């Protein structure tokens, strides 16, 4: 009894689908850009092979190269993102997101600066209450 052998062929449609999902692009958008129906995109994503002309157009819309589609793998994407560390965030400008002051102190300074205004508003409200009582 023979066991079916798994094809060594790369499933381009699945790779297109995965890249599209990662990029946050819907099948409808891809269909509109290619000038085809959403069902056609679904069929392309289910196909093991896609003709070069169509693949070029899809790659351009997805913002990648045709070679990137051929070489795409989920493992490579995970490894790519796992290489980042805090110091490389935002091209080395990570320190821009660190506070070098105490936000509570800044709040208290703002309150102190406006204390006179708050006291005048409070006095005005007290005068209104007194007038309403009369």
pLDDT, position 128: 93
| pTM beyond cutoff 0.85 | no
- What's the CATH fold of domain 12-84? 434 Repressor (Amino-terminal Domain) (1.10.260)
> What is the distance between the alpha carbons of residues 31 and 117, in angstroms, rounded to a whole number?
60
The alpha-helical segments, DSSP class H, found in 24-114 are 27-34, 38-46, 52-62, 66-71, 74-82, 103-113
Higher pLDDT, 9 or 110: 110
Distance of CA 26 to the CA centre of its chain: 14
Higher pLDDT, 107 or 20: 20
Domain with CATH 1.10.260.40 in the chain: 12-84
Q: Is residue 5 over pLDDT 70?
A: no
Average pLDDT over residues 22-48: 92
pLDDT in tens, 43-78: 999 999 999 999 999 999 998 888 888 888 877 777
Q: Which of 7-11, 25-29, 88-92, 108-112 shows the highest mean pLDDT? A: 25-29
């Amino acid at each position: 009894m023979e066991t079916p052998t798994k094809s060594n062929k790369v499933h381009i449609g699945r790779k297109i689908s995965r890249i599209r999902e990662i990029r946050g692009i819907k099948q409808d958008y891809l269909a509109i850009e290619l000038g085809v129906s959403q069902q056609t995109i679904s069929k392309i994503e289910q196909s093991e092979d896609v003709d070069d002309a169509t693949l070029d157009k899809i790659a351009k819309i997805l913002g990648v190269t045709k070679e990137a589609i051929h070489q795409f793998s989920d493992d490579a994407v995970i490894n790519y993102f796992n290489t980042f560390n805090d110091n490389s965030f935002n091209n080395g400008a990570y320190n821009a997101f660190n506070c070098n002051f105490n936000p509570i102190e800044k709040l208290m300074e703002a309150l102190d600066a406006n204390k006179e205004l708050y006291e005048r508003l409070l006095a005005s409200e007290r005068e209104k209450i007194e007038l309403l009582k009369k």
